[in-house]
Amino acid sequence: MEGAALLADALSRINAILHRALEGAPAEMLCRMPAPHANSMAWLAWHLTRVQDDHMSDLAGQPELWTSGGWHARFGMKPNDEETGQGHTFEEVAAFKVDSPDLLLAYQDAVFARSKAYLARVRPADLDHVLDEPQYDPMPTVGVRLVSIVADNTQHAGQAIYLRGLFEAKRWTRA
């Protein structure tokens, strides 16, 4: 398996975890913050999808689906591609609300489909291409950026499914 195919598989697993975490969850559960300064399932799902959309769109040289696909409007937010949740205050996290998981999952599925299409075009040599981001030392490669996306998304999908289990008091293993 080539590196890009491996990364596509990782993103498919993240997508599946997010579906498992969110499907059937009521709005109250999705928007519940487990502690005053903790992220909700809804915010985590939105944020990880925004990160994937932002970073993958940049790598692919395409506009973000957030604005180009009108997702910002569906979420009732302004058309700002810089809005990924990075640096949100706890008040901003608490203000993020959805009525159901449907919108979150539809946006995730659209971004994931586009990510898969991009990764299908990535050749092994492309992963070594150095990105022009002098704020980092050393400057990252395409491969490093892709691993960063997977790492971020894995953490947040894991947090979301953990919260689902916490809120439902489920055990994920046999007794």
Residue 9 lies in a domain: yes
pLDDT per residue as tens digits for the range 34-78? 999 999 999 999 999 999 999 999 999 999 999 999 999 999 999
Residue numbers of the domain that contains 62: 3-168
Residue 141 has phi, psi (to 5 degrees) of -100, 170
pLDDT per residue as tens digits for the range 70-113? 999 999 999 999 999 999 999 999 999 999 999 999 999 999 99
Q: Where does the pLDDT of residue 171 fall: very low under 50, low under 70, confident under 90, or very high at 90 and above?
A: low
pLDDT of 175 higher than 90: no
Provide DSSP, 89-107: -HHHHHH---SSSHHHHHH
**pTM for the whole structure:** 0.94
Domain containing residue 145: CATH number: 1.20.120.450
Residue 105 has phi, psi (to 5 degrees) of -75, -35
Q: What is the mean pLDDT of residues 108-122?
A: 98
Q: Which residues of 53-74 are buried (b: 16+ CB within 10 A; e: fewer)?
A: bbbbbebeeeebbbbebebbee
pLDDT of 174 higher than 80: no
Give start and end residues of each alpha helix (H) in 61-141. 65-68, 71-74, 90-95, 102-121
Q: Are 100 and 27 in contact (CB under 8 A)?
A: yes
Residue 175 lies in a domain: no
Q: Are 40 and 93 in contact (CB under 8 A)?
A: yes
Residue 18 lies in a domain: yes
Q: What is the mean pLDDT of residues 10-19?
A: 98
Residue 173 lies in a domain: no
Q: How many domains does the chain have?
A: 1
pLDDT per residue as tens digits for the range 124-165? 999 999 999 999 999 999 999 999 999 999 999 999 999 999
Non-local CB neighbours of 115 within 8 Å, separated by 6+ positions: 8, 11, 52, 56
